[in-house]
Amino acid sequence: MQLTDPKGKLYSFTITSGKEWHTHKGWITHDDLIGLPEGSVVSTTAGLKFTAFIPLLSDYVLSMPRGATIVYPKDAAMIVGVADIYPGARVLEAGVGSGALTISLLRAVGPGGSVHSVERRQDFADNATANITEYFGAKPSYWSLDVGSVQDKEFTEEFDRVILDMLSPWECVEMAARVLRPGGVFLAYVATTTQLAATAEALKEDGHFTEPESSETIVRGWHHEGLAVRPQQRMIGHTGFLIISRRMAPGVEVLARRRRPAKGAYGVPEE
Ligand SMILES: C[S@@+](CC[C@H](N)C(=O)[O-])C[C@H]1O[C@@H](n2cnc3c(N)ncnc32)[C@H](O)[C@@H]1O
């Protein structure tokens, strides 16, 4: 349940029959919330009012316990769209971090698909498992999680999508080429331009992928009060870049680029 006070401050907790939720001004019994339609206004024993809703996915991931930095909802939405994560898709994901992106992937593939996540750290894997289990109410049967480095794993199955959110995705390009079906999508989410450059070059050098495309998503909220309609003063300035490419058919060479590289793109030539 998510309660919002008149100033917009959010409070979330899991409803348990018999429990109470305490504030500095009175409490609400969980039993009073059970059966209420979403969008109800509830009062504490001292008259403090809150609006009650079940949290949206974006609210849930922003408030869940974090091990690693999460993929923000704006980027998760873009990843699902740009990488074309469809119902029934077989997705390989690494690293799992706190599990925020995993939840979006699981929702997009649905029970007819599968998400196989790999996370290097056991403590992060445990935290993500708790977050994902709590979100779905039980561990989804179409989700599996391995602990280790994704590039060192032996996969017997084929994947439609490889989605990477980790420090060095360029080390995983060869592995992605092995496990992706022809036409499959490779997508990496990286925080810095140096990671972006290394990943782009690795995709080009590998020879099994189409010319990579990169983007970043900047979302600016707006404030509206009467005629005072203007951009909000605060926004999330930078999160990361997406780089995407598709697996070519086996044995087919990528068509050579017609464009000449920009002067200095590959460093200053020696005299
Ligand atoms: C930024 S976090 C991922 C956050 C996650 N996408 C989320 O939304 O909560 C990056 C994670 O990648 C893991 N990692 C780094 N390199 C890895 C590798 N080669 N294989 C598997 N996991 C890796 C790290 O341990 C870390 O948990």
**pLDDT for 91-126, tens place per residue?**
999 999 999 999 999 999 999 999 999 999 999 999
Question: Does pLDDT of 53 surpass 90?
Answer: yes
What is the residue with the minimal CA distance to atom 7 of ligand 1?
Answer: 70
For 10, the domain range is: 2-55
210 and 112 in a common domain: yes
Please count the structural domains in the chain. 2
Does residue 3 line the site of ligand 1, with CB under 6 A?
no
Tell me the mean pLDDT in the region 29-42: 95
Q: What is the pTM of this model?
A: 0.92
- The atom number, within ligand 1, closest to the CA of 128 reads 9
Does residue 214 line the site of ligand 1, with CB under 6 A?
no
Does residue 152 line the site of ligand 1, with CB under 6 A?
no
Nearest one of 61, 198, 68, 71 to 135, comparing CA atoms: 61
Residue 257 lies in a domain: no
Q: What is the pLDDT of residues 142-191, one digit of tens each?
A: 999 999 999 999 999 999 999 999 999 999 999 999 999 999 999 999 99
Alpha-carbon separation of residue 117 from 101, 170, 200 (angstroms): 10, 18, 23
Question: Does pLDDT of 58 surpass 80?
Answer: yes
Q: CA–CA separation, 26 vs 23, rounded Å?
A: 6
Residue 66 lies in a domain: yes
Report the CATH number at residue 21: 3.10.330.20
93 and 48 in a common domain: no
DSSP letter assigned to residue 138: S
Task: Supply the pLDDT for residue 220.
Answer: 96
Tell me the mean pLDDT in the region 224-231: 96
Residue 19 lies in a domain: yes
Q: How far out from the chain centre does Cα 256 lie?
A: 33
Residue 253 lies in a domain: no
What is the residue with the minimal CA distance to atom 20 of ligand 1?
Answer: 149
CA of 164 from ligand 1 middle (Å) equals: 8
Q: CA–CA separation, 162 vs 124, rounded Å?
A: 20
Task: Supply the pLDDT for residue 271.
Answer: 64
